[in-house]
Amino acid sequence: MNTLRRRPRSRSRDDDGPVEDDRLSPLEHDAERLIPPAWRRRTDGERRWPSAVAIIVLIGLQLMLPEHLTLASRWLLPVIEVALIGVLIAANPGRMVRSAGWLRRIGLCLIIVASIGNGWSIWRLVAGIVRGHDVGSAAQLLASGGAVWLINVLVFAIWYWEFDRGGPLQRALGVRQKPDLLFPQMTQPDLDRDWEPEFLDYLYVAFTNSTAFSPTDTMPLSRWVKLVMLLQSVFSLVVAALVVAKAVNALQ
Helix (H, G, I), strand (E, B) or coil at 20: strand
E strand residue ranges, the chain: 181-182, 219-220
Local confidence band at 72 (pLDDT 50, 70, 90 cut-offs) = confident
- DSSP lists the bridge partners of residue 219 as 182
How far is CA 88 from each of CA 68, 83, 99, 107, 158, rounded to the nearest angstrom? 30, 9, 11, 7, 14
In the chain, what percentage of residues exceed pLDDT 90?
A: 44
Other beta carbons within 10 angstroms of residue 216's beta carbon come to 13
pLDDT of residue 3: 43
**157 vs 133, higher pLDDT:** 157
Does position 29 have pLDDT exceeding 60, yes or no? Answer: no
Burial class (CB in 10 A: 0-12, 13-18, 19+), 156: buried
Cα torsion through 54, 59, 65, 69, rounded to 10: 110
- The reported pLDDT for the residue numbered 23 is 58
At a CB cut-off of 8 Å and minimum separation 6, what does 243 contact?
125, 129, 141, 142, 145, 146, 149
> How confident is the model over 204-238, as pLDDT tens digits?
999 999 999 888 889 999 999 999 999 999 999 99
pTM summary value = 0.82
Rounded to whole angstroms, the Cα distance separating 101 from 169 reads: 11
> Taking CA 131 as the corner, what is the angle to CA 129 and CA 135, rounded to the nearest 5 degrees?
40
Confirm if 239 and 213 have CB atoms less than 8 A apart: no
Question: pLDDT averaged over the chain?
Answer: 83
8-state DSSP, 38: G
Question: How would residue 163 be classed by pLDDT, with cut points 50, 70 and 90?
Answer: very high
pLDDT score, position 27: 47
Quick check: 10 pLDDT over 70?
A: no
Q: What pLDDT, on the 0 to 100 scale, is given for residue 78?
A: 93
- Residue pLDDT, tens place only, 85-105: 999 999 888 888 777 788 889
* pLDDT band at 33; cut points 50, 70, 90: low
Q: Measured in Å, how far apart are the chain's first and last C-alpha atoms?
A: 61
Count Cβ atoms below 10 Å from residue 60 Cβ, excluding itself.
Answer: 12
SS3 190: helix
**What pLDDT does 242 receive?**
87
Give me the pLDDT at residue 22, please. 53
pLDDT at 13: 41
